[in-house]
């Protein structure tokens, strides 16, 4: 067990409207090399092209699993920033837990900058439904979409 004060990190990230604080504290997000970014105030996520995320070296294309992981962490961080987890849980904030995840791979993700944005489609008392979009070059050039359910609090 490591020293990890999640409630403190969470409040710090929300008070400063800075999702990068959360990403810096999640080892798997660091492993993928992803970053948070704000474009006109809206949170999205950036995955730089890293050799460690390549799946098919012939094209070359990013690994579908790396893209899946990128989307999954993006949705977690988006939920944490978007929803007041403390209000929902009524206790200390917790990291949302994925229940199910469904990805459509629309085209190969080339070995270049990749972006993701998320939308909370529905928030219930215990669950949230999140839509995730991944694109390259321009936001209308979707390379993958996903929907997922998370348990909150």
Partner 1 sequence: MEMDLEKFREFFMSRMNSGMHGHFGSLGLVCTFIEDGRAGLDLPYDERFVTNPASGILAGGVITALVDTCCAIASATRAENFGFSPTLDLRIDHMGVAEAGKTVHAEAEVYRTTRNVIFTRGKVFQEDRARPIAHCLVNFTPVAHKVMDSQAGMEAQS
Counting residues that bind partner 1 (by CB under 8 A) gives 42
Token reading at 134: 């991944």
Give 46 or 101: the residue with its C-beta nearer to partner 1.
101
By the rule CB under 8 A, 142 interacts with partner 1? no
d(Cα 1, Cα 108) in Å, to the nearest integer?
Answer: 38
By the rule CB under 8 A, 91 interacts with partner 1? no
Determine which residue in the list 40, 41, 42, 58 makes contact with partner 1, applying CB under 8 A. 58
Token reading at 105: 């791979």
d(Cα 140, Cα 61) in Å, to the nearest integer?
Answer: 19
* Window of 85-93, 98-106, 114-122, 130-138 that interacts with partner 1 by CB under 8 A: 98-106
Q: How far is CA 9 from CA 20, 67, 107, 114, 150, in A?
A: 11, 26, 36, 26, 20
Determine which residue in the list 8, 16, 17, 28 makes contact with partner 1, applying CB under 8 A. 28
By the rule CB under 8 A, 1 interacts with partner 1? yes
d(Cα 61, Cα 50) in Å, to the nearest integer?
Answer: 11
Strands (E), the chain: 35-39, 42-47, 54-56, 61-62, 97-105, 114-123, 127-135, 142-151
By the rule CB under 8 A, 138 interacts with partner 1? no
By the rule CB under 8 A, 73 interacts with partner 1? yes
Instruction: Give the three-state DSSP class for 151.
Output: strand
Give 68 or 120: the residue with its C-beta nearer to partner 1.
68
Residues that bind partner 1 (CB under 8 A): 1-2, 4, 6, 25-28, 30-32, 51-58, 62-66, 68-73, 76, 95, 97-105, 108
């Amino acid at each position: 067990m490591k020293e990890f004060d999640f409630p403190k990190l969470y409040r710090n990230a929300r008070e400063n409207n800075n999702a990068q604080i959360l990403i810096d504290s999640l080892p798997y997000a660091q492993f993928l090399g992803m970053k948070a970014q704000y474009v006109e105030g809206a949170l999205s996520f950036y995955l730089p092209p890293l050799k460690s995320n390549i799946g098919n070296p012939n094209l070359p294309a990013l690994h579908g699993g790396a893209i899946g992981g990128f989307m999954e962490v993006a949705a977690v961080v988006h939920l944490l920033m978007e929803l007041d987890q403390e209000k929902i849980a009524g206790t200390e904030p917790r990291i949302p837990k994925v229940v199910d995840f469904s990805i459509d791979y629309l085209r190969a993700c080339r070995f270049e900058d990749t972006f993701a944005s998320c939308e909370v489609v529905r928030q219930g008392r215990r669950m949230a439904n999140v839509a995730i979009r991944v694109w390259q070059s321009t936001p209308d050039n979707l390379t993958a979409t996903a929907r997922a359910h998370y348990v909150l609090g």
